[in-house]
Each structure stands twice: as C-alpha cells, then as structure tokens.
Amino acid sequence: MPTAFLLGLLLIALGAMAWALAERRTASMEEARRYTIAKAELVGDWVSASFALSEQLLAGTGQLALESLADSDASAMPQLSSRLARRVDAVDFVDAAALLTPAGEPLASSDGARMRAVLDDNAHIVDAFLASPERSRVTGLLTQGDSPALTALHFMALHDADAQLQGVMVAQLNMAVLSATIARAAQLESESIALVDLDLQLVTRHPPPTAEGVGIGLPFELAPLSRAVREGLVPDGMIVRSPMDQQVRLLSGKRLASAPYLVVIGRSTTDILRPWWRELRILLGGWLVTALLGWLALRRHLSALASRQRLAREVVQRKQAQSDIQQREAELRTLVTGIEALLFRFDEHGNLQFAHAHRPDLLLAPPEQLLGRHYSEILPDDITERFRVALDRVADTGLPIEVGYRLSLDGTPRDFKAVLRPLLNDAAIAAGTVVLATDITREKALEAQLRIAAMAFDTHLGMFITDADGNVIRTNGTFTQITGYPESEVVGRNPRMWSSGQHDADFYRDMWGAIERDGSWQGEIWNRRKTGEIYPQWLTISAIRNAHDELLHFVATLSDLSASKEAEDAIHRLAFYDPLTGLPNRQRLQERLHHLAENPERQQEHAALLLVGLDNFKAYNSTLGHQQGDALLQQVAEHLGDSLGENETLARWGGVSGRPGASFLEMA
C-alpha cells in the first residue's frame, strides 16, 4: 500500500509537472508571438516613415510643378529641375525625381539621364499608372538595367482645380537605405527582420541570408507566406523553416499601408524554447531526486514499522521506539527551521495549526497570535477569496495549487507565491493543507525591469513609460530634447504636468476609451514644453499587459510636429502671397473674387475693383537696376496699404500691358 501510494504521488507530481511544462511552453510561444507582432508594428512604422519622406517630397514639389506648368516662361522647367535636385539631395531615400506630362514624357528632372534610364526600363509600370492615375502609388522592387542597385518608383498625380490631370511627379527610391533602418531595429541575437515586396522579393534582411540561392533583391519561395499574401493576410505566429538560413522560426508581419511591402519579424524557436528546455531538465532532475528520496523514505518507514511491531512486545523496546520518534520529530523541526520560506499547516476547516517564518517581518502578526485562527480572520478580503477557491480545489483534486498574492507589510507592498498541497492521513483522505509561501518581491521587480528593457528605448522618437496608475517611471533622451524635461523632474509624476490645456475632457475621454478598447491610441495633440511653449506633437500610447491580461504599464512615443507645421505655413504663404511685397498674389485675389461672387449674402452689395499700374516702370527698372525696382514696388505697396479701409484688399496682380510686376489691384 505505501509503495502504491508513493507511486501514485510520483505519477501525480509527474502529471502536474507535464501540465505545467505544457502550459509554460504554450505561454513562451504566445509571448514570442506577441513580441514579433509588436516588433512588426514598430518596424513597420519606421519603414513607413521613409515612404512618408518621399510622399512629402513629391507633395511639396507637386505644387511647384503645377505653378511651373501654368507659367509660360521658358526658364520655368530648368528652374524646377534645379529645385528638384536640391530637394532630392536632402533626402537619402530618394535618388532622383522628375515631372512627367500626362503622356509620360519628362518635363523636368533632378537627374535626367538616371530618370530616363529607369523610366525606359519600367515603361510598362509608368503606362499602367498613367492609364489609371491615383493620387499616390509606390511600386514593388524594380530592376534597373544591369545595375544590382535596389530601387522602386513613387508616383503622385497632379490635378488642377477642375480635377484634370496636369502631370505626374515620380521619385526613384533607394531601397538600400532601408537596410540601416532594419539593422537598427534588431535587438535579440536570434531575431530576424526582413522587408519584402508582395511578390516575395527580398529588399533587405538582418541578419543577411546565408542559405544558397537566396539574396537581397532576389525572389524566394515560402508557400505559407505566399498564400497569406495572396489572401491579403499577414503572418501571425506562423512557424516555418526559413529559406534564408534554414532555421525553424516563428514569423509575424505587418503589411505597410502606404506601399506594397511586408515587414516580417522572425524568432528562432530554439531560442524561444531554450528557457523551457532548461526548466524541463531542472524539473525532471527534481522529480527523479524526489522519487529517489521518496523511495528511501518509504523503505525507512517500512523498516521502522517492522521494528515498532517487534519492539511492541517489550516495554523497553517501546520506550526506545518512542525515543526514536521524538528524535525524528526534533530533526523535522530542525529541518523546518532551516527552510527559508513561510510554512503553514491548516486543518480541514481552514484553522491555522502551525506557522514557521524564517523572517518574522514577513508575517502579518507574530506566530503565537495567528495559531488557532481561521485564515479569513488573518488575510485581507481579496486574498481570502483567492485562498478559499484554492483550498477547495486542493481538497477536490488532491493536487498542489499555486497562488500569487500581494500583502502590505509596514506600508511596503510585497509579492508572494504560495504552493498549497493536501495533507493526507493514513486513509489517503485530505486532513488539512500545507502551504509553502515564498517572497518573490525581488523577482517581480526584475521581471518588470526585463519587460521595460525589452522595448526599443534608444530611438529618434521621444518615449516615456508609466506604471498602471499613469505615473512616469522612465523616459529617454529624445523625450528630454523635445519637451525640455529631464527624467528626474517627471519620474513619479503624471503626464498631465505638460498638458497644454487646449483639449477638452471629451478629447481625453475618447483617447483613453480607445486605449482601453484597442490597446493603443495615436494622433496629433498639443502639449507644453518646460519653457512654456505650446507645440504640436504626434503621440502614440500603448497599454502593456501580462499573460493574465493585467495592466502593467503604458508606453508612449512622441515626435515634434513643429517643423512640419512651419513648413505647411511656409508652403501656404508661397502659394498665396507675393514674396517681394507680402501682398496677396493673383491666385489669392481670384479666390476671394470667386468667393464674393458665390456668397448669397453679398448678392445685394456692390464691389469696386481698381487697377493701379506704374508708368515707365520697365525703364526705371532697367536704368536703376532690379534692386531699386524691387524697393519701389515695396514702397508703393506700403503706401497703398496705409490707405486701405476695413473691408478693402490690396493685391499684387503681376505683369499687365508689357510691364511685368508693376501692377496692383485694390478691391473695396
């Protein structure tokens, strides 16, 4: 019977260990899947930022191109080519840019020979775009003659106010620039980051592919990934053997919204499961040691039982047996005293019968004050309910149960892990429960630090991390550069300290509602620097949860939009105001006239339009020079502007009757 009982316990322990290992393996794979998904989102945003630079270059030069197309001056296109060259030189991701006619013929280019060669090599792609022009389209990876360089084309259609196609801006992209972005994002030794187009041509990969027949710029075969791309899906925890290095990897990806490319993050399953294998070896070793000790203990018990039966015939032998028992109990007490953990024994009703603490400060009260009391009289209500459920499960299943809980001891929160095991009598019936509790406060803190360290913190974006209550616990250097706040001034404080006050309660209610519902939020928001300056920023907030869906942290990334806003204002001023006099230009005046003509409230009113021309301005300009001519125009604009009424507008109309730049319009 004892042998069967020991074997049963060992089998139960083995089953519990197998279940725990299976759960741990599943959790490890799920954690790796979530990591690769989050990493794919992050790298995808970084790569999308490069395409956004190309989009901004084309959009910025597109307005200049429309103005050049409307200008009949023969020097307009050479000037546009010069501007394109300067802007291309400022963006590493763009090798060349050009303006095409609706028929696909180049009008202006930053590098005529380069663009002509690329357009000729990919004429079918140009024709396809012109046949169905979109506002913006990025191609997949393209060939460039015999050159091994990686390239792609970014098209943007230019329409006039009547939605008529006036031309097409096209940029040649240097896809090799993305290699640095991909390499910078790599963190783990076994991690792979790849960028492929939707035809599964490899744009870049970190680390570089090592398998034969696979390389940058070449297509590769991976049936599950091909099937997912065809179906419009992205890999989500896909486990395959990578053709890049023949390793079995867990793959997750993100499809870029602005370009036909896919970011694929992979982690070696060998690396993912390395801790799991280590735990398996430790647990198997522990189980074998336990089995050996149990067998030795069983043999000792059987031997002692036989001895007691023999000594029962004699009183002296009985006393000797009693002495042996007392000695073993003393040894057991010595053994218990040496355990560096909290040990409790409860009877079948939940009353505490024994308590041992290697550190008395880890108890809610001295042991003598706890003995004989029910656990519900000792523990807080939330922990009491958790222990009640665990004790019931132990009694019903006879299996050990693990419970985690937190107690506040002298005002300091501490985390514990308790293992509840049934205490069986000779009839193998549960007669109580033994609880072994370990202080894991330090391990919890290390786990939290590891979660924080796992994030990409050294980035060009400002970042800060808060706890679950929203108090800042860490920032990076870029955050200080953008906001002016050093980390020491914001740690422990709520991000409300840099709020601008320009958003109402509904805005923040919607923002936190999205975070609670979707796990993240991003958008434009106005905040305040340490200097008091209010500025626009692009903010992304993500909620970080553990395997039990408990909220741990909030992670926020931010970028300064001030330069973008200033650039937008500058473009607007160049489009609608004369750069010499600062007056509204012809386009701005025409828009106002059009608005007055269509406004029903002004139908019963009259408007006057006065054209003022400067006689002999051309001779004045030729005789005294353009600098004097410009000064004269500025003085006339200032003089006329001083005489304007409240509802009057002064604008520079431009050339009239052969006198360029010497005409003004006054409207009342």
pLDDT category, 644, cuts 50, 70, 90? confident
- What CA–CA distances, in Å, run from 491 to 465, 485, 494? 9, 10, 8
- How far, in Å, CA of 437 to CA of 180, rounded? 49
- How far, in Å, CA of 69 to CA of 51, rounded? 26
Cα–Cα nearest to 241, from 219, 260, 225: 225
Q: Are 54-171 and 577-667 the same fold in CATH? A: no
Dump pLDDT digits (tens) for 151-209: 999 999 988 888 888 889 999 999 888 888 888 887 777 899 999 999 899 999 988 99
Dump pLDDT digits (tens) for 528-540: 999 999 999 999 9
Structure token pair of residue 204? 């870049």
pLDDT category, 659, cuts 50, 70, 90? very low
Overall fold of domain 457-566: Beta-Lactamase (3.30.450)
Beta strand spans in 225-313 (E): 236-241, 248-255, 261-268
| Residue 499 DSSP code | B
Residue 321 has pLDDT above 80, yes or no: no
Residue 603 has pLDDT above 60, yes or no: no
pLDDT category, 543, cuts 50, 70, 90? very high
Is 166 exposed, middle or buried (CB count within 10 Å of its CB: 0-12, 13-18, 19+)?
middle
Instruction: Say if CB 42 and CB 456 are below 8 A apart.
Output: yes
Q: Which CATH architecture best describes the domain 54-171? A: 2-Layer Sandwich (3.30)
- The partner residues of 409 in beta bridges, in order of sequence, read 412
SS (H, E, C) 398-437: CCCEEEEEEEEECCEEEEEEEEEEEEECCCCCEEEEEEEE
pLDDT category, 299, cuts 50, 70, 90? confident
How many CA atoms, within 13 angstroms, populate the side-chain half-sphere of residue 297?
Answer: 11
Q: Name the percent of the chain in helix, strand, coil, to the closest 5.
A: 45, 25, 25
Dump pLDDT digits (tens) for 219-243: 888 889 889 888 888 898 899 999 9
Peptide bond preceding 207: is omega within 30 degrees of 0, i.e. cis? yes
Class in CATH terms, 577-667: alpha beta
The H or E element containing residue 397 is helix 381-397
Counted residue by residue, the chain has a size of: 668
- How far, in Å, CA of 109 to CA of 80, rounded? 8
Residue 553's pLDDT is 92
Residue type at 486 in one-letter notation? P
Q: Where are the domains of the chain?
A: 54-171, 457-566, 577-667
Residue 439's pLDDT is 83
